[in-house]
Amino acid sequence: MAAGDERALGELYDRHGSTVYALARAIVGERADTEEVVADAFGQAWRTAGQFDPARGSVTAWLATITRTRALDLVRARGRRSKVLARAAQESDAGFATPLASSDAPDRDVERQETRQLVTRSLGELPEAQRRVIELAYFGGLSHSEIAAELKEPLGTVKTRLRAAMEKLRDALSPRIRQVEP
């Protein structure tokens, strides 16, 4: 790996490392596992950087997809449930920051801080049942039918809720989403 490449990777980490870390942590829970997922995710991002096309999506979305996949793979490989899923079963707090908690992480980057607040607010505006479905899918990696089993709800209801929630989030977050090429 050339020195310039290492610098690029360092910059990628500096910009997105904390988001990737927090996401991995919310899914796997254990600190050692979290670090493994982060290293794994950046390693994969680095290997597949050639397939990443900035015209077709943001770096954030690309990294989040990789991170979620690696984290959920690790949780499954460990034969565990994700931290959020375990918590959800106890109906305690879940993976997304509450509007109150989000203020504990001041971000020097104004744009990022605003995005963070917008995301937290948008999640807060979802009906509780929709938010729950999103959390199970997002942090638990559960499929439609697994969510239905978890919540003891009809499959159709779960599908509708998940879709409605994602559409609401997309509307609410649209100022931060740009159009992509097909």
Site residues for another protein, 6-35, by CB under 8 A, read 6-15, 17-23, 25-26, 34-35
CA 150/CA 95 separation, integer angstroms: 17
Applying CB under 8 A, which of residues 30, 46, 80, 157 lies at the interface with another protein?
A: 46
Contacts of 80 (CB under 8 A, 6+ apart): 86
DSSP 5-45: HHHHHHHHHHHHHHHHHHHHHHHH--HHHHHHHHHHHHHHH
d(CA 71, CA 21): 10
Q: Which is nearer to another protein, 13 or 80 (CB)?
A: 13
Work out which of 59, 86, 89, 149 binds another protein, going by CB under 8 A.
Answer: 59
Minimum CB distance to another protein smaller for 89 or for 149: 149
The CB-of-57 to another protein minimum distance in angstroms stands at 5
Q: Which of 105, 125, 149, 154 touches another protein (CB under 8 A)?
A: 105
Q: Is 85 in the site for another protein (CB under 8 A)?
A: no
User: What is the token pair recorded at 28?
Assistant: 């796997």
153 binds another protein (CB under 8 A): no
Task: Identify which of residues 80 and 164 has a Cβ nearer to another protein in the complex.
Answer: 164
Round to whole Å and give the CA distance between 136 and 9: 31
Structure tokens at 143: 């499929």
